[in-house]
Amino acid sequence: VADDKILCIDDLRKEASKKLPTSVRDFYNSGSTDQITIHENTTAYAKYRVRPRVLVDVSKCDPSTFCLGRKVAFPLGVSPAGLQAMAHPDGEVATARACARKGINMGISSFANYTIEDIRSAGLAVGGIGHAIQLYTMKDRELELRIIRQAEAQGCTAVFLTADSPVLGVRYNEWRSDFRTPDGLGFPILEWDSETIRKQSHDDSFVGFNDDAHNWTRDIPWLRSATGMEIWIKGVLTAEDTLKAIEMGCDGIIVSNHGGRQLDGVPATIDALPECVEAANGRIRIHVDGGIRSGTDMFKALALGAEYCWVGRPAIWGLAYDGEKGVDLMLDTFYNEFKRCMQLTGCNSVKDITKACLGVVRPYGP
């Protein structure tokens, strides 16, 4: 398929989805229960309008910024989403190369099909890249420590602790098709081979390894004592939990609803972001993911107070469409749209993207 068919992320979604078997496509593309949150993650962006300033010299517009202690080309990263080798055999290794080539960061899922070493070294061979290791609160602390030690040894700089998943969400699509990881794919970070995984449904295996007794006071101090990496809480949606993350001394939060795959009916992340930003009052770093599908969506998230955006499914669609080149295409699309949005709003640096850049379409009323 010629790249010129793909002009935007929605084109990529459509073309990539055509290439995937139904159960795989559903696993990647669906949300939980009634699909309300996944739908709203994207549509909620349409409530916001951009307030542009005109006749500004934007010839030197620079979308670069800083994230996880390093300079990045623009404020986007690839979220830790598991099972990328089901979209393309090169999976997370291809994603890492594309992120490094573009000069941005990546989260490594605990459910990656490649080792931390494979993913890190693929990115480093292409250029600079920052990696966060995504962790669950696991029953097996020894295994969790082994993952942490590997991540440290390989130069990951942050832990993304996924906090929204004491149990998995209600995923009818997975249950209906009895979704199983394809033969031959393993989860080397979790030390599970293909045979072990295929014996159980995703839901059953998750219950087996993840600790639903997880909590702030037990798990955050433990993690702090276990590693010097930054600790980010992934899956915060409220002012209350933002304050809790500050109280527990976390380095940052990712306002996330797991791409609408956990509890259906929670708000779109762009709608939850303002209360978290207000509660934080500059005391903790805030990133966001979920439903971001254009450079203008990124711009809106930054205007509402996020420092950095992450995308999950767009990377998977890139892989399914054309492997590493597909991820390059996805990242170039976001970059070009974001820079152009900055220029068309009169912003020369990401610091210029403030609340004043946004207006809200008022809800219907008498």
Active site residues: 258
Residue with smaller CB distance to ligand FNR, 48 or 111: 111
Distance CA 185, CA 235 (A): 27
Does the annotation place 136 within a ligand binding site?
yes
Q: Encoding tokens for residue 332?
A: 């170039």
CB of 43 to ligand FNR, least distance (A): 12
Contact 114, 85 (CB under 8 A): yes
Does the annotation place 261 within a ligand binding site?
yes
Residue with smaller CB distance to ligand FNR, 292 or 353: 292
Residue with smaller CB distance to ligand FNR, 58 or 300: 300
Query: Dihedrals φ, ψ of 74, to 5°?
Result: -165, 165
CB of 54 to ligand FNR, least distance (A): 32
Distance CA 133, CA 68 (A): 12
Contact 271, 260 (CB under 8 A): no
Length of the chain: 366
Closest-CA residue to 131 (of 284, 114, 165, 144): 114
Please give the residue whose beta carbon sits closest to ligand FNR in the complex.
Answer: 312
CB of 83 to ligand FNR, least distance (A): 6
Cα dihedral sign, 220-223-228-231: negative
Does the annotation place 292 within a ligand binding site?
yes
DSSP 305: T
Does the annotation place 134 within a ligand binding site?
yes
For ligand FNR, the binding residues (CB under 6 A) are 28, 41, 79-82, 109-111, 134, 162, 234, 256, 258-259, 261, 289-292, 311-313
Does the annotation place 25 within a ligand binding site?
no
Distance CA 269, CA 48 (A): 13
Does the annotation place 234 within a ligand binding site?
yes
Distance CA 76, CA 58 (A): 21
Contact 246, 206 (CB under 8 A): no
Label residue 119 exposed, middle or buried (CB < 10 Å: 0-12, 13-18, 19+): buried
CB of 263 to ligand FNR, least distance (A): 13
Q: Are strands 70-72 and 65-67 parallel, antiparallel or unpaired?
A: antiparallel
Residue with smaller CB distance to ligand FNR, 257 or 345: 257
Residue with smaller CB distance to ligand FNR, 13 or 347: 13
CB of 364 to ligand FNR, least distance (A): 27
| Residues contributing to the annotated binding site | 80-82, 109, 134, 136, 162, 171, 234, 256, 258, 261, 289-293, 312-313
| Residues contributing to the annotated binding site for FMN | 80-82, 109, 134, 162, 234, 256, 289-293, 312-313
| Residues contributing to the annotated binding site for glyoxylate | 136, 171, 258, 261
